[in-house]
Chains A and B, each alone.
Chain A
Amino acid sequence: MTFRFRGSAIALAIAVSMVGAARAEEIVVQAINTYVGFTVDRFNRENPGDKVHFRLVSYQSILESLPVQLASGRGPDISIVGDWNGLSKYYLDVRPYVDAAYFEREFGVMLPMLRGTDSRPDAINGMSSAITMNGAYVNLTLFRQARVELPPPGATWDDWAAACRKVAKATNTPMAMEVDRSAHRFASIAISYGARLVDARGNFVVDEGLKTAMRKFVGWHRDGTLPMDLWGAVGGATHRDNFQDFMNAKVVLYFGGSWQLERMNKEVGDLFDWAVIDAPCGTSSCALMPGGGAVVGFKHSKAPKLVGRFLAFAAREDVMREQLARGANIPIAATLVRTGVAYPNASERVREALASYTRQVSTNIPPAAYAFQGWRFQRAAMNAMTTRISQVLNNELDIDTAAAFIKKDVDLAVQVTRM
């Protein structure tokens, strides 16, 4: 009897486990930051019936491999994407699985930028807990040593370039300013000089604002304010940053990204005095540009419901707060921008920098910057700008010809998608 009972119990256990196995769904989440992995771990702990696998990949892989994977109907179920709208035709509409009103309320700024032309106009494709920002890091110690006054908030690029040159000269610092070799950085400078980049009909615009910014930018290279090592030394659309120059106090002002804060926190700390200043301004606005990764689900997923559940989980306020605190990132969700985030592990200086960024998110980002960030052909335009500006710096093209080529490159990219 006992034997029969034990046998039945085993059979029942096997049957239950098989049913469980049949119902359990698995998805793969891909990201470039380990702190997304903590969110995945937390989801798995709170949802033992499901399995979410985390895959850490490089930013280059997101840019180059993911589009090919998606085009072939493969790849992860959820991934961080840098090209928000460029891949939108692959995005899953998770509206049926999430609290749509909550998403609209919290991520209203970014949802339109993820929607492609082939999605429902009210589709919800994903979200992001964090936003990245272009930001200017300044070595305050060098300013103090040179006895040069910091330009006030609202100061122009010219003011900053002049001040940094003075500081570099007085302190024998090798470089006055550095700007990442990234068209995202350049685009924000261009917008600050009045470049529209994209018109209301979604066409790329080469205007006097863009050309003025190109002239300024090339001029700073010619007069030695910016070194040739970044924009001048490499070809094509290659991304390059030399943030270690700022960490080694070899440059007075570094125009990079908010994600460098973590490195500053860990590697510089209090070795010298530094700050993230309010973005320098052009003649039209200040050089602010939202960016970073959006977390989206993909249509090819065999477990769309789980994709939706994971995105809803990742969008929960407490989960976002934890993730932002871990990564020392700037919030984008409306409630968190309004109420602020505590960063218990960050130094006082990093907290100040984050507060500065968060303040600028809510007040200063020009509409043209949002329009460009959410534009379908943003990546094509950025590739063209990086490539052509490098050619101008190396005397292969003049500014007008380069601007014409940027337009031609983007037009060809648009034409390819319409073939």
Chain B
Amino acid sequence: MAPGLEDRAKAVLGAVAAVPARALEPAMVFLQRVLGMKRLPWVFLAPNLIIIAVFSLLPVLVNVVYSMTGGESLYPTQRHFVGLFNYETLLACDNYLDPSTCTRDLFWRAVRNSMWFVPLQVTIMIGVALATAIALNRRIRARGFFRGIFFFPVMLSPVVVAMTWVWLLQRDGALNGLLAGAGMPAVSWLTEPSRAFKWSIFVTVWAHMGFYMVILLAGLQSIPADLYEAAKMDRASPWRVFTRITLPLLKPVLLVVFILAVIRAVQTFDEIYVLTGGGPGSATKMIVHYIYETGFAVMPRNYGLAAAASLLLGLVLFGFTALQMRLSRGGRDA
């Protein structure tokens, strides 16, 4: 576009944009006069604040009400106040290391499973995502194709992901079909507790790794290339380059990825629900699965107990978010 033409286009667009601004100006001046400069920003924030209040804060408050009331009614007004009964029921335990001694043993089994699942899944997820991002940040053949392939599972519905793996792993599934073709005996991939747990980790990593890979890839691409060139001139080893340049500069992005991955792992439900239904026994039952079953899958619905469990989970997630805020502030201060 010629410079003169561009200037004219800018002027026209500016004039068009100024029309609504000019039309609103008297109203803004009036509001400013009535409310004062300090209060005026709240007018602009109000729409978002109302949305957050209605769709985030109010449900939390309702959840608190449910957790402190009993009965099977869905309407809070028809429920009876039971105080901390639901929390006491959940937390009553003779020995927290042995869930069988707890009143709600399945809750504690779910807590224990989640405490194993989250660190293992997050560590593997970040490790694999980082390795993949580093590999795909290099100038390799068909780089775009591979980036697409690794990101593809993220676009699939979790139920589709889980069903696909069920078909692969079930007794008559593709994997056992391959083994049979090779003359080997079938393996119970999902009917043995520790195997089912490992497959749950694998499937969730496979499904979500692409998302974190893309974030890390963006982080890698923001690292100035001249730092690597300088390291090359100094004949620094690849490991030294990784630990002294890549990791430190990727730290803020890794922190975001870590927190997101932890929150996601704590909330894991759909893939495992379809893959194993929380079994064998309760080997892959996670906290959100327990909440779902208690509140929606059994009769009568125990909304109070489910609400109490979800608030306890919310407290854990709040802790992680606070940690993220603290760490990210620490990073900025440094």
Residues of A within 8 A of B (CB): 63-64, 67-68, 71-72, 83, 86, 227-229, 232-238, 240, 377, 379-380, 383, 387, 390-391, 393-397, 401, 405, 408, 412-413, 416-417, 419
Contact = CB atoms under 8 A, between A and B. Distances in A.
20 contacts: A68-B74, A71-B72, A72-B75, A232-B279, A233-B280, A235-B277, A235-B280, A235-B285, A237-B298, A238-B279, A377-B299, A377-B300, A380-B300, A390-B279, A394-B283, A396-B100, A396-B109, A413-B299, A416-B305, A419-B80
Nearest to B171: A229
Given A232-B280, A236-B278, A236-B285, A413 B300 contact: yes
Interface stretch (B26-34, B42-50, B186-194, B224-232): B186-194
> Which secondary structure dominates where chain B touches chain A?
loop
Given A383-B298, A419-B71, A391 B281 contact: yes
Contacts of A383: 297-299
Contact of B188 (A228, A238, A390, A413): A228
A405 B105 contact: yes
Interface string B64-95: 00000111111100011010000001000000
A161 to B, nearest CB: 20
A72 B74 contact: yes
Interface residues of B, number: 44
A377 B298 CA distance: 10
Contacts of B281: 232, 235, 390-391, 393-396
Contacts, number: 126
Given A383-B297, A405-B105, 16 more contacts: A71-B73, A71-B74, A228-B191, A228-B280, A233-B191, A234-B278, A235-B277, A235-B281, A236-B277, A237-B298, A238-B277, A394-B283, A401-B100, A412-B89, A416-B304, A419-B304
B106 interface: yes
Given A390-B280, A401-B100, A412-B89, A233 B190 contact: yes
Interface string B52-71: 00000000000000000111
A374 to B, nearest CB: 14
Interface in B240-296: 276-285, 289, 293, 296
Nearest to A65: B296
A86 B299 contact: yes
Contacts of A227: 171
Nearest to B283: A394
A390 B279 CA distance: 8
A63 B301 CA distance: 11
B132 interface: no
A235 B282 contact: yes
B204 interface: no
A228 B196 CA distance: 13
Contact of B300 (A235, A396, A408, A417): A417
A34 to B, nearest CB: 24
Interchain residue pairs A-B with the least CB separation, the first 8 = A419-B70, A235-B279, A394-B281, A235-B278, A379-B299, A71-B74, A238-B277, A234-B277
Contacts of B100: 396-397, 401
A234 B301 contact: no
Contacts of A413: 298-300, 302
B103 interface: yes
A405 B100 CA distance: 9
A181 B84 CA distance: 35
A63 B300 CA distance: 11
A405 B103 CA distance: 9
B300 A394 contact: no
A86 B300 contact: yes
A232 B279 CA distance: 8
Nearest to B189: A233
A67 B280 contact: no
Contacts of A237: 293, 297-298
A417 B71 contact: yes
A64 B297 CA distance: 6
Most chain B C-beta atoms within 10 Å of own C-beta, residue among A71, A234, A383, A405: A234
Contacts of B193: 394
Contacts of B196: 233
A236 B191 contact: no
Contacts of A236: 277-279, 282, 285, 289, 293, 297
B312 to A, nearest CB: 18
A387 B283 CA distance: 12
